[in-house]
Structure formats: structure tokens, C-alpha cells
Amino acid sequence: MNSANMNDFSMDCRALAGSLTDKLHAVREAGFSQITLCAQDLVNHPDGLNAAVASVQASGLCVSAFQADCDFEGQSGPLHTFKLDLAQAMLGLCQALDCPLLVLPSSRLAPATDTGSTLVRGLRQLAMLAIPLNIKIAYQGWTGAAVVQTYLQAWDLVCETDMPNLGLSLDSQEVLAANLPQDDLLADLEMLDADRLFLVQLTDLLAQARLPAQPLRVLPGDGTHREALAALVTSLHGLGYRGSYNLAAFNGDYAAMPPHHVAQRARGSALWLGQDVLQRSVPLPNQIRLRRTLTV
């Protein structure tokens, strides 16, 4: 039986093996109402883009976010023109899916100049292109980026860019890896505006002995940071975040498992977070759910 708590969680397609049809079926069967997709899921469909979009629509799943790995902001000249064309293609795919949110990881490419103005200019341009499409942009710092490697750096750029449809995507991996004391973490989180926090991506971590010594991303509750992850989600809820939580755990081991198996494990993570951590009760029939919607 599906729980209404599941409606606050999205399954990230990158955690699943198989075709787009396999992924959609596994996520739906696990009780999710939302999925996060990426361009490869659509453009690699054997019957073409239109067939891929039709499959998503027929699944009954809402595409809550679309991952766009563009390396976009900060460039100039011909490279900027090329990346702009790529970013516009990502917006087009996002629009085709009726998806309200494009997730933009910070660029792995060094900016054309040493000033932050080129980063701001690029983000503002992309946000302006997204407005008539009714799409929001969730900007995400990450450790592999050339400049913007933390969520606080990304937040500073979001504030400086000052566009109504530009906000932040927060990845729990960064928070867990920092291993800050709870008081310090809460102080950092309180710097954010919950209304501009467009997405929270949740993953747990497992240490690996092999090289490179990068932690393994696993589903929430399956790693060694269960208590810290619960504290993070509780803190964000207390600060007013009411958007979706994307279960963004992906690794080579999950890719070797049947998608149905991984999706069922994700269901367990969502129920743990929704019922035990957030302690949300199942709403009565026809009761209005108190959560913010992504409107520009």
C-alpha cells in the first residue's frame, strides 16, 4: 500500500540500471509518484525523443527535476556559444517533460576571467531563458567543480545573481563529508532562505578502501551516516524547507542490480525518512498538503 509520505520523495534515475521503460516501471511499482531524469534517459531511447517523452507521460510519474550537466557558467566567446546551445537544449528537454526544475551542477571548467562576474552573468542569462518556459534553476556546488565547490559558495552566487527563478540545490554528500558539529551545521544552514532552496538531494555514504578513496554513495539509511542524515533532514524541515527530497544515490553496484530491487530499497529509505525522521502523518482524503510548489 502506498503511503502519502512517499509524495515528498523523488527517485533519481541515475541509481537504476536498464532502459527508460524499466526505470519508470520500477519506480512506479515501488510506490513513488516522482522521478528525477537526465538527458541520457531521453536521447538514448531506441525509438527517439518523442517516444521517450510519451513513455514518461504514460507512466503517471511526475518529473520533479531534470539533471543538466552543462559546464555552462563562466565561459566566453565560442565556448560560451557552444555551451549556451547545450543549455538551451537541456531547457527544451525539461519543458518537454513538463518538469518545473532544471538542476545545474557548477562547472568543471575554469572561468574565462578570474572575477565572479562571468559566473553571475552566465547564471543570469540561463535564468532569463528559463523564465518564459516556467522553469526554475537549482544551482549546485560540488567538489569536482573548478570554482564553486560548496553549497555556501553556490548560495553566494545565487544571491548575487538575484533572479527569482534561480535557487539552490543542496547535496547531502557535501554536508556529511564535512562532518561539522550540529551547531556549526545549523549555523551554516540558517544562512539559506528556505524559499530559495529548490531541491535537497539525499545520499548516505560508505567508506571504501580502494583507490581513489572516494566514499560510496548509497541510499539514505544504508550507509554509516544514518543519524547525521536524519539530523540534516530534520534541521532543513525546521528551517522551513517543504520541497522534494531526491534520493540521489548512484554507484556501480546499484547499476549491477535489477532496477526493481534498487527501487524497493529506495522505497524503504523514503518511508524511513518520511515516517520516522520527519514524522509526517498520512493526510486525510482530499486534505490540502502543506508544501510549496515550483512556480516562477
Q: Is the CB of residue 103 less than 8 Å from the CB of residue 199?
A: yes
- pTM score, whole prediction: 0.89
Q: Tell me the percentage of the chain whose pLDDT exceeds 70.
A: 91
Residue 247 bridge partners (DSSP): 11, 202
Whether residue 2 has pLDDT greater than 60: no
Q: How confident is the model at residue 110 (pLDDT cuts 50, 70, 90)?
A: confident
| Nearest-angstrom CA–CA distance, 73 and 94 | 19
Residue 138 bridge partners (DSSP): 103, 167
Which string of DSSP letters, residue by residue, matches 238-258? Answer: HTT--S-EEE----HHHHTS-
pLDDT of residue 292: 41
Three-state secondary structure of 71-98: CCCCCCHHHHHHHHHHHHHHHHHHHHCC
Q: What is the pLDDT of residues 44-72, one digit of tens each?
A: 999 999 999 999 999 999 999 999 989 99
Average pLDDT, the chain: 89
Residues 6+ apart with CB under 8 A from 93: 39, 42, 49, 66
Residue 223 corresponds to which amino acid? Answer: G
Q: What is the pLDDT of residues 111-131, one digit of tens each?
A: 877 667 889 999 999 999 999
| Nearest-angstrom CA–CA distance, 102 and 107 | 15
Q: What is the pLDDT of residues 196-250, one digit of tens each?
A: 999 999 999 988 766 556 788 999 999 999 999 999 999 999 999 999 999 999 8
Burial 92-130 (b: 16+ CB within 10 A, else e): ebbbbbebbbbbbbbbebebeeeebebbbbbbbbbbeeb
- Structural element, H or E, at residue 176: helix 172-178
Select the CATH number that applies to the domain covering 4-277 from these four: 3.30.1510.10, 3.40.50.300, 3.20.20.150, 3.40.50.10440.
3.20.20.150
Phi and psi at 283, nearest 5°, equal -65, 155
Q: What is the pLDDT of residues 160-176, one digit of tens each?
A: 999 999 999 999 998 88
pLDDT of residue 211: 55
> What's the first-to-final CA gap in the chain, in angstroms?
34
Q: How confident is the model at residue 283 (pLDDT cuts 50, 70, 90)?
A: very low
Q: Is the CB of residue 97 less than 8 Å from the CB of residue 58?
A: no
Q: Say which DSSP state 194 is in.
A: G
C-alpha cell at 105: 551542477
Of 287 and 132, more confident: 132
Residue 117 corresponds to which amino acid? Answer: S
- Structural element, H or E, at residue 235: helix 226-238
Residue 220 corresponds to which amino acid? Answer: P
| Nearest-angstrom CA–CA distance, 136 and 220 | 26
Residue 34 bridge partners (DSSP): 10, 62
pLDDT of residue 198: 97
| Nearest-angstrom CA–CA distance, 247 and 34 | 11
The ranges assigned to domains in the chain are 4-277
